[in-house]
Amino acid sequence: MEPENKKSVISVTDEKEQEAVAEAVLFTMGKSVEVGQLAAALGTDGPTARNAALRLQARYNRKGKGTGLQIIELENAFQMCTRPVYYENLIQVAAAPKRQVLTEVMLETLSIIAYRQPVTKLEIEKIRGVKSDHAVNKLIEYGLVYEVGRLDAPGRPALFGTTEEFLRRFGIGSTVDLPGLNPELEEEIKSEVEKELQMKLEEEEKEEDETDRKIL
């Protein structure tokens, strides 16, 4: 039996009220809310809750510059967030905002993970031709990549995939919406990897020269 003080949610049937409830939930949570959670708040089924969130999203989109907020869809969830166009305004009042800068190496590593996930560090390094520990660790630190599991192989290497933050950061609803890699991009990645390899070789040669001078 349910506790007497636990009240069951009355199903919200009015569409405007459904939008209002969805808006209140998204605003209060401050993070992505799954459709099932919205359905529980509305006392309805999943499709009804999703339609309410989509109507709310369309209403915010119609306002355009009339509001600094937007509703975005992330796979099977929705989130209320600020419009990217106002980011520069927001950082004026933020206390020492720390912007996460993605280097070219990190972007290359992230693209490999996004398109090949789940993927191990060894596979990433085979594609890039260089060690990628630092890049992967930074992407994890930034919340764009996470360990999704372990490969059933000797040593049980970690498998990596992209996070919800990655979808949010790049404005993608799902990984299936990722654009196809074109030949130019592949060539660009190859070129960057070659440059990085050349730099590493020059650094190693410099270290060897310094070592030889010390011995002499």
| Confidence (pLDDT) at 147 | 94
Structure token pair of residue 127: 């594609």
How do residues 106-144 score in pLDDT, each as one tens digit?
988 998 899 888 999 988 988 888 888 999 999 999 999
Distance CA 74, CA 46 (A): 15
pTM above 0.75, yes or no: no
| Average pLDDT, rounded, for the chain | 81
Least confident of 53-57, 81-85, 144-148, 170-174: 170-174
**C-alpha of 79 from chain center:** 13
- Whether residue 167 contacts residue 178, with contact meaning beta carbons closer than 8 Å, is answered with no
Tens digit of pLDDT for each residue in 157-195?
999 999 988 888 877 777 777 766 555 555 655 565 556
With 90 as the cut, is the pLDDT of residue 38 above it?
A: yes
Three-state SS for 127-180 is HHCCCCHHHHHHHHHCCCEEEEEECCCCCCCEEEEECHHHHHHCCCCCHHHCCC
Please report which confidence band the pLDDT of residue 7 belongs to, taking 50, 70 and 90 as the band edges. Answer: low
35 close to 50: Cβ distance less than 8 angstroms = yes
64 pLDDT more than 90: no
Backbone angles phi, psi at 133, to 5 degrees: -55, -50
Does residue 90 surpass a pLDDT of 80? Answer: no
CA-CA distance, 159 to 117, in Å (whole number)? 8
pLDDT at 192: 57
